[in-house]
């Protein structure tokens, strides 16, 4: 089970619609369906009841939602903590500008900074 699969599962579980979940994840529907199928295969259970008109969570799907919410929140917290730790240690920032700004405005801005 991968975090990416869990995030995909949570999007479908929230939307109860594969197309809307795919849009939310900025991906197309077929790869999303494959991610869910791979997750179902690795767990050995169906997570959704699918019909041509409706998607519903199974009991296993409902249980996975309960377990995934705190897990994904913790994973996000860990990622934020690590990013902040690295940012605190490196103490640098990235600056982007156009070529025109690079030759006109940027030198004065950097001097004042």
**What structural domains does the chain harbor?**
3-112 (1.10.10.10)
Q: Is the pTM of this model over 0.75?
A: no
Burial class (CB in 10 A: 0-12, 13-18, 19+), 21: buried
**Nearest-angstrom CA–CA distance, 36 and 60:** 13
pLDDT at 38: 96
pLDDT at 19: 94
Higher pLDDT, 30 or 90: 30
Q: State pLDDT tens for residues 30-85.
A: 999 999 999 999 999 999 999 888 999 999 999 999 999 999 999 999 988 888 87
pLDDT at 102: 80
Contact 68, 30 (CB under 8 A): no
Contact 64, 71 (CB under 8 A): no
Phi, psi of 37 (to 5 degrees): -60, -40
Burial class (CB in 10 A: 0-12, 13-18, 19+), 86: exposed
Residue 65: both structure tokens together: 């939602």
């Amino acid at each position: 089970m991968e975090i990416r699969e869990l995030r995909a599962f949570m999007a479908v579980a929230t939307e109860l619609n594969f197309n809307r979940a795919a849009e939310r994840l900025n991906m197309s529907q077929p790869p999303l369906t494959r991610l869910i199928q791979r997750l179902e295969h690795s767990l050995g259970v169906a997570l959704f009841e699918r019909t041509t008109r409706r998607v519903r969570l199974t009991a296993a799907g409902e249980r996975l939602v309960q377990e995934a919410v705190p897990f994904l929140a913790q994973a996000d917290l860990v990622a934020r903590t690590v990013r902040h730790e690295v940012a605190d240690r490196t103490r640098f920032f990235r600056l982007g500008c156009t070529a025109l700004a690079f030759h006109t405005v940027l030198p004065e801005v950097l001097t004042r900074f």
